[in-house]
Structures are given as structure tokens and as C-alpha cells.
Amino acid sequence: MRAMAQSGQRQELPRVFALARRIPNPKVSRAPLLWAILAAFGAALFVGAVVTVLFSLLYRLLSVPSDAWLPRPFQLSAIATIATALAVAWVSGGRHAVAAWATIMLFERFVSLWGLGTFCGTISPAPPLCSPIGYVLGLWPEVLGLALGSRLVRWLQVGAGSGNPVLEAAGALAVIYGLIAAAQSVLTVSTSSFEAGLLGIAAAVASGVACGQVLLARVPATRHWTMLGIVALGVTGPWVLVSVPAYFESVGIGGSIATTGLNLLEFFTPLLQIGSAAFVLYVAAARKVTAEPA
């Protein structure tokens, strides 16, 4: 019986590998350094959104408890985003793009670590994440993502063209929001909830404006709104399918949640981001119409 099973597996494996070889390799166009960096962050945003939604819904469907010895969806998303960004940065911009991407990531991590240290100093007893060993062990998704990204580089192919406009627009949104959010993690401990909420809204608006500006610079006018719609799917998808249901579940369990107006508005960050980008495109279109002779 065992020999028959092994024989069947040997017969099936070539079919599996043949099917895998027929899957088209994703293509990424080479681009100047700045655009390659943004493309890396944009690709990470889309892949992270897919992984977050997929595994969040799967865990919910299977009723996986929160204390199960399984990686959480946000950890799986971290693995996927690191791997994707590394691979796209390398294929699109080479080692200089990878170095710049890594510098931005390390800067965000350092600023967040500073904020974490301030936070840990205000609570007692401190959670495991506040200990040096706990923090280092918590970096396993990033380490695994780097290892996976070094393999993913071989899977990606160089495409035609001189840029990846959709990825670049999404990347501009992700980079600006990530940098301001990292600063927010430092300031939140020493500021009021009003100031923290205001900074969160500023981050959402600034990142949306950056996205809109990149769309204006890199995408033909006839495709502005289509490309913005694609970016909106990556930004709002996890929010609609994961964050909003979780919010209403928490309200149902804990009753009312005390939030100020700004904090509640900050909850709608994805909509603020896309709305700000849409406003930039609308203003540009209105100016173009006004400038045209009657």
C-alpha cells in the first residue's frame, strides 16, 4: 500500500511542477532610482493587502483562536511585503534601489523602536515585546521575508517600459504614510489624543496627495481615474473586509467605545487617503478644462 502511494506521488509531482512552470512570471519594468523605490513599496502594499484579507477571512472561517500556535495574518503579511519589496526593488532598480528601500525601512523601524521604548517606560508590568529578547524574537517575519525575497528575485522578470506607474503611486502613498506614522508612534505617548488624531489625519491626507501627484506625473490623463481605482482596491480592501468587521465586533462585545471626533475620523484613514488623491486629480482636471480656450 505504501509503495503504491509513493508511486502515485511520483507520478503526480511532475504534473504539479509542469503546472507551476506554466504560471506566468510577474513582470516589473526597470525604472530610475526614485520610481523603483516607490514601486517596491507599492508592490508590497498590494501583496500585503491580499495576504491580510485572505488569511484573515480564512482564520475567521476556520474559527482559529487568537492564542493558537499559528502565525497571525499581520505576521504573514509582513513576510509577504518584505519579500515582495526586496524583489521588486532589485529587479526594477538594482542594488541602489534595494539599499534605499532598506534605509527607509530601517529608519521607520528605528523611529518606531524609539516610540516603543517610550511606551514601555510608562506601563508596568511591561509586555514581552518590551524586553530586548522579546523584541528580537518578534522580528522573525522580517528575517523570513528577506530570505524569501532573495529567492523571489529569480521569479520576477524584467518587463517592457520605463516604470510601473500603479505601483509607484501606491508606493508614494505607503512611504509618506509610513514615515509620518512612525513619527506619530513617538509623539503619541507625549501628546493628547486630539494632537495624535490630528497627526494621523495629516498623515492620511499627505500620503493621498503624494499618490495623486505621482499619478499626475506618471500616468496618462485618460487613465488617471482607472489607476486610482486600482490603488483604492489595495488600500481600502483590507479596511473594508478586515478592519471594519473587527471594529463592529469589538463594539458588540465591549459596548460603546469612547472615541473623539478626530480619532473616529482617523479610523477612516483609507477613505481619507483615496479622497485626497481624488481631490488632486479633480483639481488638475479642472485647471486643464479652465485653461483650454472656449
Average pLDDT over residues 46-69: 91
Does residue 70 belong to any structural domain of this protein? yes
> At residue 135, does pLDDT exceed 60?
yes
Average pLDDT over residues 34-43: 97
> At residue 126, does pLDDT exceed 80?
no
Does residue 7 belong to any structural domain of this protein? no
CA distance 44 to 21: 24
> At residue 16, does pLDDT exceed 70?
no
Does residue 3 belong to any structural domain of this protein? no
Does residue 225 belong to any structural domain of this protein? yes
Does residue 16 belong to any structural domain of this protein? no
Residue 101's CB: how many other CB atoms inside 10 A?
A: 26
**E strand or H helix that includes residue 196:** helix 193-218
**Whole-number percent of the chain with pLDDT over 90:** 52
Per the prediction, the chain carries an average pLDDT of 83
Residue spans of alpha helices (H) in 62-192: 73-120, 132-137, 140-152, 165-187
266 by Cβ neighbours in 10 Å (0-12 / 13-18 / 19+) ranks as: buried
Which segment of 91-95, 254-258, 276-280 scores lowest on mean pLDDT? Answer: 254-258
Average pLDDT over residues 34-63: 95
CA distance 111 to 258: 28
Whole-number pLDDT of residue 163: 86
Does residue 260 belong to any structural domain of this protein? yes
Does residue 5 belong to any structural domain of this protein? no
> At residue 65, does pLDDT exceed 70?
yes
Model-level pTM? 0.85
Does residue 14 belong to any structural domain of this protein? no
Which segment of 77-86, 108-117, 216-225 scores lowest on mean pLDDT? Answer: 108-117
What's the total number of domains in the chain? 1
Whole-number pLDDT of residue 266: 73
CA distances from 231 to 47, 124, 186 (A): 12, 41, 28
Which residue did the predictor score with more confidence, 114 or 14?
A: 114
Which residue did the predictor score with more confidence, 117 or 67?
A: 67
Residue 119's CB: how many other CB atoms inside 10 A?
A: 17
CA distance 154 to 176: 29
Q: Residue 216 is part of which domain span?
A: 25-291
